[in-house]
Chains A and B, each alone.
Chain A
Amino acid sequence: MSNGILVFVEHRAGAINKISYEAIAAAQEIGAKLNQPVSAVLFGANFQDLAQQVAAYKLDGVVYADNEKLAEYTPDGYADAMEFVVRARDPFLVIFPHTYLVRDFAPKLSARFGKGVISDCIRAQMENGELVFSRRIFLGKIDADVVSNSDAPVFATFQSGAYRGETAEKGTGVSVETLAVEVGEIRMKPEPAFQEVKSAVDLTKAEIIVAVGRGIKGQENLQLVEKLAQILGGEVAASRPICDAGWLPIDRQIGSSGQTVAPKLYIALGISGAIQHLVGMKNASTIVAVNKDPEAPIFDIADYGIVGDIFEVIPALTEEVRKLKG
């Protein structure tokens, strides 16, 4: 009989990912609700030290899967190792942080159990004795409640920010069980990870950011945004489609694949507010959104909103700020 929750802990460059603590917090909370033991699992080759760090959390066990082939991440290696651990431990629920690495191997793992992953969840609650996961669909415009209708194990990933990492409870220390996992042939060979030429602009230091999205329609209209940023003394930034189109360089991109910022003021112009963008800016102190769609998800996190045409609002706002600044 499947029992307990297993939570996957990701690490990179010798450190545990911050979002992994959020996954631990998620597993602890769900474990408490369901009265189920929670164990953590991490992989590597000679990464026992990291396993010890995880063991400081309030858990019922820590599994450290050691294999030379796990020194570097590959989907083949991680799927094999995780399959081995899941079959050995037989949990009813396996929780992952929703990272690019997890996205790369978790569906492969779940396929070996004849199912998919309940991916990118924002919360999990008990309703009528059933664990209900919520995920955001349609680029953040709608939420969907999802239940598993298969046998254990259920695989679920939680989005960054769904739980707070600092609420992960520390414990009195558990022992780390080192498991010699079997890993088969690795077909993909990774080269060292690298960063492109260091960003020319460090948006993380900007106090005011004026960000523009798809609503700007054309590169020639960017000068409107630049004028507003200039009068405010802020930096221009953009959502992904603007940088994809080459209208602004990639070092101006805010979001999961770009920079994560927390300025005093963030003005989102013609940005609908897909999750990938929101994770990069939702911690700004004051958020202003201008969008023609009153249902745009960006308004969910905005302090001030104007529903309207950005081509009318931007020049008007520029003029008003100019007046105030004298």
Chain B
Amino acid sequence: MKIIVLMKQVANKDAILRINKDQTWIEESDLSYEVNESDGYALEESLRLKEKHGGEVVVCTMGPARVKAVIKDALARGADRAIHILADDLPRPSPFAAASIIAGAIKDEQPDLIMSGLQSDDNSYAQTGVILAELLGLPHATIVIEVDASGEGLRVKRELESGWYQWYTMPKPALLTIQSGISQIRYATLKGIMAAKKKEIKEVTPTIDTNAASHQKVTKIYFPQKQKQTQFLGDGDAKAGAAMLADKLRTEARII
């Protein structure tokens, strides 16, 4: 089974974000990056399927040179090769533009399965995978938390809201977007890291103009307005803060 995993590099979850002068995006100069969380789970699931059923795992990522870090890490964990769509960081493509570019980059691959995380932790559009499936004419399932590929087609467990689940069957090839937590993610071994150095990373350039294909435009970004007047306690002193909080919970909120 040949599996393509779409992985995105995003700002580190713990990074303190600053907004750039033009309010068009965040200040990226000293930002640290990591792999998008659910994409990491998509990679893990594809490696497990490969181990069970044989085949190949191809990582595909888009972005400037820095996203090589995501590729190298995925290759070290066990992916077989990679496609790097070299694209400038700006303009940031809309989900339709991103899906169109990816469709162009993987058109000769003929995968049995394409997997991605369910959404990115930066723009959170949660659409690129589904749009890609439509562009390629493939059936899809989103928010998948279990994959059974032992039969002719696929049987996948989808997460619904409020603790409900549902199984779907569909033919291959198909596209799945994976929910975080589907399995425990492995670490790269030293052997894996050494082996990764010999693996192929194919660089391609986008076949379409990202600007032309964007149908929605971010006009400005800003920090959200507070919904509540938060009383900040302790002024950096944890002990004092805790004491004031306990007192407030007793006298103001009347809970203790």
Query: What residues make up the interface of A, taking CB atoms closer than 8 Å to B?
Result: 74-76, 79, 99-101, 103-108, 110-112, 114-120, 132, 135-150, 187-196, 199, 208, 214, 232, 240-241, 243-246, 256-260, 264-265, 272, 285-289, 293, 295, 297, 299-309, 312-313, 316-317, 319-321, 323-325
Contact = CB atoms under 8 A, between A and B. Distances in A.
Contacts of A289: 230
A120 B140 CA distance: 20
Nearest to A299: B230
B215 interface: yes
Given A103-B126, A107-B95, A108-B140, A313 B170 contact: no
Most buried by A among B123, B165, B226, B253: B253
A265 B217 contact: no
B239 interface: yes
22 contacts: A75-B139, A111-B134, A115-B96, A116-B215, A117-B125, A143-B224, A144-B221, A149-B214, A149-B216, A194-B165, A240-B181, A260-B162, A265-B255, A272-B13, A288-B245, A295-B16, A301-B227, A304-B248, A312-B239, A313-B241, A319-B242, A321-B249
A258 B246 CA distance: 29
A195 B165 contact: yes
Given A75-B140, A307-B232, A308-B236, A295 B181 contact: no
A191 B224 contact: no
Contact of B121 (A112, A139, A303): A139
B169 A188 contact: yes
Closest 10 CB pairs of A and B: A244-B181, A316-B242, A312-B238, A320-B246, A115-B215, A150-B215, A107-B127, A107-B130, A111-B134, A306-B241
Contact of A244 (B17, B141, B180): B180
Given A104-B143, A143-B224, A308-B238, A116 B217 contact: no
B230 A305 contact: yes
A303 B169 contact: no
Interface string B21-48: 0000010000000000000000000000
Interface residues on B, range: 35 or more
Given A111-B135, A193-B164, A232-B256, A303 B231 contact: yes
A interface, by DSSP: helix, strand, loop or mixed?
Answer: mixed
B210 interface: no
Contacts of A288: 245, 249
Contacts of B217: 146-149
Given A110-B96, A116-B95, A104 B142 contact: yes
B141 A188 contact: yes
